[in-house]
Structure 1
Amino acid sequence: MTTFVWIVLPYACLAVFVLGHVWRWRHDQFGWTTHTSQLLESRILRWASPLFHLGAFGVIAGHAAGLLVPAWLTSAVGVPEGLYHAVAVWGGTLSGLVLVAGLVLLIARRAANGRVRRATTTMDKVLYVALAAMVVLGMTATVGVNLFGHGYDYRETIAVWFRSVFWFSPRTHLMIDAPLVYQLHAVGGFLLLALWPFTRLVHVWSAPLAYLWRPYVVYRARRGAPPAPAPSPAAVRDRTTGGTRA
């Protein structure tokens, strides 16, 4: 079971992540979009979407720093472990709260608005469930364990295992004694990667940076447009005579 969870499953999910994107690009390029529902409802979306994307950006940046940057490297550049821990916990908590607010608004919007609800696909529902589960597990680990709990140094265990997967030398023993919430969060993260190519998440690879603070298409009415030129007398005469002339 240990081999399957911490070796087979991660590599299977990474393979689906890569091959799924290739398949999606070859067979569904026109679906490589956000599938925005702005035209169906924009009042809630203008708050929910920026909150969600900014929170997600902070969470992803925090995960990248915590999992990819070794503890010895931050110590070597003069960052004390206590300072790193405080920034990681409070930064992760703040980013997580922003992400939660955006996700709750997005889900509530789809549930409350009939037109948006009818435009929601099965994969959208699966994605929202997966994101909600990941957010709950992540906030439990950050707030429940590290902020108000006894704490857990994931940089010496989970982060090392995570990097070892990409070095093709998984150190599975590091995950055996990790807290259950961290184990579930790690498994959920790889499962989310496997789900990624088949959802609207693919749009992140082609979205401009400005999408973070204006993540929807702006439709403008043609106000102030110059008036159309008046028809010529000949054209008016043609319309009144049915297009024939004597």
Structure 2
Amino acid sequence: MNTWDLLLWGVLPYVMLAILIGGTIWRYRYDKFGWTTRSSQLYESRLLRIGSPLFHFGLLVVIVGHAIGLVIPNTWTAAVGVTEEMYHVVALSLGAVAGIATLGGVAILIYRRRTTGPVFMATTWNDKFMYVVLVLAIVAGLATTLISVFGPHHEQTYRDTVAPWFRSLFVFQPDIVAMSQATLEFQIHTLIGMVLFMIWPFTRLVHAFTAPLHYLFRPYIVYRSRDGRPSSARAIRRGWAPIGTPDRESDRPTRRDRRPTGGRR
């Protein structure tokens, strides 16, 4: 272990966490109106309908795969009867498919952003830098997957080096030696990933922290027509009232219940 190993694998991860957490809090307090993806669907939707699902669903599988591979130790999977060969076949096959889908999705989104005039005009330098780092992270991940299978050091996996180092960070005892023994492709992929998380709070990627899950449970939108008939002649069709909100329709006074509160009639 040398000074560079200490800085890269012992100091930089905590700097990244400080920037990620502190930057997110700062962004939420001082830029709530900018906490958005700045949707450009109004300008172009055909390519967006293809690229966005590919990118988001592929990225979701990639994140889940990283979480399982880095958090769950080898002994746990072996205890339930999953051998190393079985684990790597499933992980590499799913990882390759998800990585290709994610890369294809982001490629379509970048092509759309570059070739659609209004979308390109709404692209900032911040967005361009974010796309560069994001593409580098995806490409490095795919390259690491291929090299880990066909490379000269295919017998050495991230579960022996990167995963122990990752878990050690949360107990504030970073296993620098384990990470320093990882192959170069794993180290490059890890460094690019840390850079991505450091710029995360200051880009449009911050919207991932506020996924609109409440959309699944929000009430239906009730449309009422203006046909000129008196309200008593129309059948009242009640909508789906959200839990915890007052019943506005029943609380509204009718014409008969309204009385003057004072003054001259």
TM-score, normalization: structure 2?
0.77
CA 1:83–1:210: 2 relative to 1, 3 Å: farther
- Per-residue CA deviation, residues 78-103 of structure 1 (Å, 9 max, x unaligned), is 21111111011001000001001101
Counterpart code for 2:26: W
Counterpart code for 1:62: G
TM-aligned CA deviation for residue 225 of structure 1: 8.9
Displaced runs of 4 or more, over 6 A? none
1:146 to 145, 148, 152: 148
Q: In the alignment, which residue of structure 2 is the partner of 1:121?
A: 124
Report if aligned partners of 1:52, 1:101 keep a CA contact under 8 Å in 2: yes
| Separation in 1, partners of 2:164, 2:72 | 10
Counterpart code for 1:39: L
CA 1:209–1:53: 2 relative to 1, 3 Å: farther
Q: In the alignment, which residue of structure 2 is the partner of 1:75?
A: 78
Could you say which structure has the higher helix fraction?
A: 1
2:15 to 7, 12, 15: 12
TM-aligned CA deviation for residue 228 of structure 1: 6.9
Superposed CA RMSD: 1.9
Q: In the alignment, which residue of structure 1 is the partner of 2:91?
A: 88
Instruction: Map 1:34-183 onto structure 2 (within 5 A).
Output: 34-143=37-146, 145-150=147-152, 151=154, 152-183=156-187
SS in 2 for 1:66: helix
| Separation in 1, partners of 2:29, 2:59 | 28
- Per-residue CA deviation, residues 200-234 of structure 1 (Å, 9 max, x unaligned), is 111112113599xxxxxxxxxxxx995776xxxxx
Which of 1 and 2 has greater Rg?
2
**Count of aligned pairs between the two proteins:** 217
Structure 1 gap segments, 5+ residues each: 212-223, 230-246
| Separation in 1, partners of 2:73, 2:108 | 36
Q: In the alignment, which residue of structure 2 is the partner of 1:186?
A: 190
TM-score, normalization: structure 1?
0.83
2:204 to 197, 200, 203: 200
Larger RCO, structures 1/2 (Cα 8 Å, 6+ apart): 1
CA 1:108–1:164: 2 relative to 1, 3 Å: same
| Separation in 2, partners of 1:210, 1:35 | 19
Counterpart code for 1:193: F
| Separation in 1, partners of 2:212, 2:97 | 24
| Separation in 2, partners of 1:112, 1:174 | 45
Structure 2 gap segments, 5+ residues each: 216-222, 229-265
